[in-house]
Amino acid sequence: MKYVLVGTLVLVSVFGVVGLIGFLIPEKRTANAEFTFKHNSEVIWLKMRDIQGQKSWRQQLDSITILDNSLGKETWIENSKSGASVKLRTTLFKEKNQWGMETYDSPFQVKWLGELQALNQKETLVKFSYESTVTNPYFRILSLSFLNLESMIQSYALELKSELDKDTMKE
């Protein structure tokens, strides 16, 4: 009986400490980055907005299932090669300029915004903003490992650049 009581106290203490640490981590985290691509803004826009086509150049994706393909109101599911699935929907759509999306039906809410600004005919400034909101303090601890926003932006931008460069070499 004594061991059960001690074991229970240890578990409750660990659970409490982990919860306290989770409460100290902010609910909202943001990351922003800017990239200059040596490509026409329209070409970049078309590549980014081809939701189904992203499967061919985003390495971590296994499949994409389009639920609604209405322009500016798209909803879809991205399935990663690790087995995780995330539901996404378009929240902002300004033709050839801004595209916003967010996750839904998930314990982690992530909002993404991509903005394109043509610098000239062959160069485009692309700004990415990510914001995650995790209300559950235990999930906040996990989110530090699984929702590395800076890494997500860098990865997406590098894969996009690689795909755009590949397309340019074909021409």
pLDDT score recorded for residue 52: 96
pLDDT score recorded for residue 170: 66
For residue 2, being part of any structural domain is answered with no
The total number of structural domains that make up the chain: 1
pLDDT score recorded for residue 24: 80
User: In the 8-state DSSP scheme, what is residue 62?
Assistant: E
Give the domain CATH number at 61: 3.30.530.20
| Averaged pLDDT, 46-67 | 96
Contact 77, 86 (CB under 8 A): yes
Q: What is the pTM of this model?
A: 0.83
In a 3-state reduction of DSSP, which class is residue 145? helix
Starting at the edge strand that comes first in sequence, how are the strands of the sheet with 123-133 ordered?
A: 28-37, 123-133, 109-120, 98-104, 85-94, 75-80, 61-68
Q: What is the pLDDT of residues 1-56, one digit of tens each?
A: 787 777 777 776 766 766 667 678 889 999 999 999 999 999 999 999 999 999 99
